[in-house]
Structure 1
């Protein structure tokens, strides 16, 4: 009887920890749940921009930083460089894979710190090296790939090339690029790209560059690769603030559609042409559209302004140091002028992990991990 009661109590505590997500209790719960789960893959390597950056810009001479309060207000480590009040999408994915949160490249100097992967993402970064120059310091995708090569050199010295290649084939690689190539390049008045390309031409040009970069990642050993599409950029507070109507910009939303269409086709082509590869496409557009259309069902009551920011839609100036954010953060879709709240990131991470082909094509992350 006593043993049965203890067993039930332990199960109850485990469930509470599993489903807690906010505040310090949530962080402890996440760690306990991760420790109790089997690791589905050896490691997670992450490349991208501010949506998934977790501190790589902290020590750069950059205007694109988030290592100050109130960023991280709901994260156990406080302000780490994540452009969120708490978790990013890849934080949730790491936990669902049974892994600890992935360390930033700038903070992972030893092999032990790199054991379960590295995050190379950098705010303001793009597919194109020139993207994001308004923010001065950032790490474009090409440089992120070089940083990954540096990691491989360190690991290979200790393990040897055959062992590294065998391990990498089992790891998952997450790549989320492209948003800044529109927001902080094509749509910026001080960039020439809008005069050089129409929307379709620019999407074609970006994909051409992107394909070469992803092929390079494959040649470095990546076999299981997640490619994240671009969301509804026309609905973020920064874009909403530019319109008196406060409505999503259909012009901006339509602008990025060719990129997403090309991206899905590229994934199919890479799987066909690169032996042993398994690329999957995450339809962030569909995910985010579903959240906005069914916001009440997801528990969101504020979908058109940031939780932290200044001006119209709290999107004209993004979240400033020590600014007081909204209190009901879990009811907001957007955290600041550009980024979703942790609540949205967690939903999207779960959709990507176990969703159907409307959001993950040709398979979801869980299926990719189990290959």
Structure 2
């Protein structure tokens, strides 16, 4: 026994330098995710860094002034939050500057490291779809996903000229296709459309997202992240607009509206199936599903674990009410005010999340915990 023990010890001592090297290498890989030289983003208010304001839209002008931007930038930037968004944290993680909004490029912005095409209020479906449903007047913007895709195609010739140039450039680029699609449902839900009716919309919305993803791959893009929907049943806006006297409508684990969260999961499952089909069609591309729902629902199940010490269902900035969301005194409007510590809140203005929430979501994606296949894994 003692002889075997001595022999084992000797072997371990010989292997120790190799094991130390392996552990060091693994630690380096995990702490330094694959480097990208540029990031391009498409989407809505969850990732807009200024396009909505630059477009001259007037539907939601308060995002152009404080308290929007108060926590990090100390001034409004056109972001629908108190600070940075998921796309900002992803850029930081890969050592890249914050993405300039596409509509600011003519103002001298350098876009070699990427561009943000997202517009607050944008939909996956074109305005014509909503016009036929007589909902067009509700749209904040007509810059839908297809318009954003057109902007990219217009810009492409400035990024690369030959096919080889484009192949080399896009191999080092990350494309974020959304989150997009949430507004397609929001506009309809907020004017009284039923969940049953909107379930019929889901395949159409998912098809628009996957077609845009496919179009980007056809343009030479090889690495794409496609996020799903957030748990909308936990948002202060939904909690306020769809309050129910029936306790059975609320999830006992977190207090959120079960039916709306189930709807979000239905959309996400449909999207995951569609992305799997795209992977089979384009095996050379890395199509990553970002589980925004899974990354965010943690906050409502165990808020204190993530540093959220205020009610997770109450907005930081609002005009009162049980969830501090008042449609006639929304954040930034007369009659509203922001909390003193946004980082202790999950929800910022009733619809959008705080910088603190977005940081945790981004970390979940970059670590690979909520990205499939993992965002941090090499090509």
- If the length of structure 2 is used for normalisation, what is the TM-score? 0.79
How do 1:65-214 residues align onto structure 2 when only pairs under 5 Å count? 65=61, 66-76=63-73, 78-109=75-106, 113-130=110-127, 133-156=137-160, 159-175=161-177, 176-185=179-188, 187-189=189-191, 198-214=197-213
Residues paired across the two proteins, number: 324
CA displacement at 1:93 relative to structure 2: 0.7
Aligned to 1:301: 309
1:330 to 343, 347, 351: 343
Give secondary structure in 1 for the equivalent of 2:217.
Answer: helix
In 2, Cα distance between equivalents of 1:321 and 1:268 = 43
Q: Is the CA contact 1:68–1:321 (under 8 Å) kept in the aligned structure 2?
A: no
Q: 1:61 to 1:53 in 2, by over 3 A?
A: same
Does residue 361 of structure 1 match 2:372? yes
In 1, Cα distance between equivalents of 2:276 and 2:70 = 40
In 2, Cα distance between equivalents of 1:276 and 1:133 = 41
CA displacement at 1:49 relative to structure 2: 0.6
In 1, Cα distance between equivalents of 2:333 and 2:100 = 24
Structure 1: gaps (5+ residues): 1-36
Structure 2: gaps (5+ residues): 1-31, 131-135
Runs of 4+ aligned residues of structure 1 deviating over 3 Å after TM superposition are: 197-200, 244-247, 321-324
Q: Is the CA contact 2:315–2:345 (under 8 Å) kept in the aligned structure 1?
A: yes
- Give deviations 1:61-106, integer Å, cap 9, x for gaps: 2313411111001222620100111110110011111111111111
Give secondary structure in 2 for the equivalent of 1:81.
Answer: coil
How do 1:267-306 residues align onto structure 2 when only pairs under 5 Å count? 267-302=275-310, 303-306=312-315
Q: Is the CA contact 1:226–1:281 (under 8 Å) kept in the aligned structure 2?
A: yes
In 2, Cα distance between equivalents of 1:86 and 1:270 = 34
- If the length of structure 1 is used for normalisation, what is the TM-score? 0.81
Task: Tell which deviates more after alignment, 132-141 or 204-213.
Answer: 132-141
Aligned to 1:63: 59
Q: Indicate the structure (1 or 2) with the bigger Cα radius of gyration.
A: 2
Give secondary structure in 1 for the equivalent of 2:226.
Answer: strand
Give secondary structure in 2 for the equivalent of 1:340.
Answer: coil
- RMSD value, Cα: 2.3
